Amino acid sequence: MPSVSELLSANLHEVFGNRDALARRKAVDRVYSEDVVFTDPEGTVHGRSAVDDKAAALLANVPSDFVFVEDGERYVGTDIGALAWAFGPADAPVARGIDVLTILDGRVTSVRTFFIDAAND
């Protein structure tokens, strides 16, 4: 069973940072529960296919040099974890945020994504 830390990494790198549609879908099926709930400032989606679609749409609408990088330590509990990230060109990210994952039986059941409030930078 994957650890919370491994699931944090997989969510960021293997799903949301993965431009290979087939590899991303395999990761989605491995990482998330069937009824996963993903919430970000744009709204909430339900299910693996919706999360896969969300990642695909995000990556399709940004330049090819945009990547996700970890932006701090991984925070883990027994059934929850958090990971800060940056997104954009590797040397000049245009967005920063944090993902908070809830885990049950070795799969992600919910993802909450928060963005840094640019108005307070």
- DSSP characters over 87-108: EEETTS-SEEEEEEEEEETTEE
* pTM of the full structure: 0.94
Over residues 61-85, the pLDDT tens digits come to 999 999 999 999 999 999 999 999 9
Per CATH, which fold does 4-120 belong to? Nuclear Transport Factor 2; Chain: A, (3.10.450)
The DSSP 8-state label assigned to residue 41 in this structure reads T
Quick check: 36 pLDDT over 90? yes
Question: Where do the domains of the chain lie?
Answer: 4-120
